[in-house]
Amino acid sequence: MPVRGVSRHRLIFGKHLEPDQYLARFRACDLFLDTSPYNAGTTASDALWTGLPVLTLIGESFPSRVAASLLHNIGLPELITTSKLAYEALAIELATNPQKLRSIKKKLAENRLKTPLFNSPLFRAHIEAAYLKMMEFYWDDLPPVDFQINGDKVPI
């Protein structure tokens, strides 16, 4: 008997696993449906790392914007919705349009190590540049200033 129209054999409730098995489990899935108003954080990041697209509904509070931040940083803003209706519509579209889902998975695979989310060398360059800039301000007896670190180049 289906649960809200979904066959019971398609619902999988996973138990605690070792890290390598936990990450492997994501590969058995087609789409990660994020929760609202509290988004997944590390779990969504893990899903993206393994190639599993994450669909999210962005909200106004920090906990409801985490997955959207991850998706922006991996170049998949098309998986960020702004209403429950849009979230549901996109979930259904991705579930019923295998070609579109494949296209998103391909884009995710291509972006995984090129975009800021999982680009450790870029993160290192940014954090080092930020530390150097803060030290310069300190050494020159200047007041702290706000600056932003993002993009694909060291901004400072």
Q: Is 54 helix (H, G, I), strand (E, B) or coil?
A: strand
Indicate whether 64 and 17 sit together in one domain.
yes
Determine, yes or no, domain membership for 58.
Answer: yes
Q: Is the pLDDT of residue 120 over 90?
A: no
- With residues binned 3-state (H G I as helix, E B as strand, rest as coil), the percentages for the chain, rounded to 5, are 55, 5, 40
Q: What is the pLDDT of residue 31?
A: 97
Indicate whether 88 and 134 sit together in one domain.
no
Q: Out of 43-57, 62-76, 86-100, 135-149, which region has the weakest mean confidence (pLDDT)?
A: 135-149
Q: What is the pLDDT of residue 156?
A: 42
Q: What residues contact 63, with CB distance under 8 A and at least 6 apart?
A: 37, 38, 39
Give the pLDDT mean for 16-42: 94
31-72 pLDDT, tens digit each? 999 999 999 999 999 999 999 999 999 999 999 999 999 999
Indicate whether 83 and 148 sit together in one domain.
no
Indicate whether 109 and 32 sit together in one domain.
yes
Number of domains making up the chain: 2
Q: Which residue has the higher pLDDT, 6 or 99?
A: 99
Region class of 38: left (phi > 0), else alpha (psi between -120 and 50), else beta: beta
Determine, yes or no, domain membership for 89.
Answer: yes
The domain in which residue 98 lies consists of 8-117
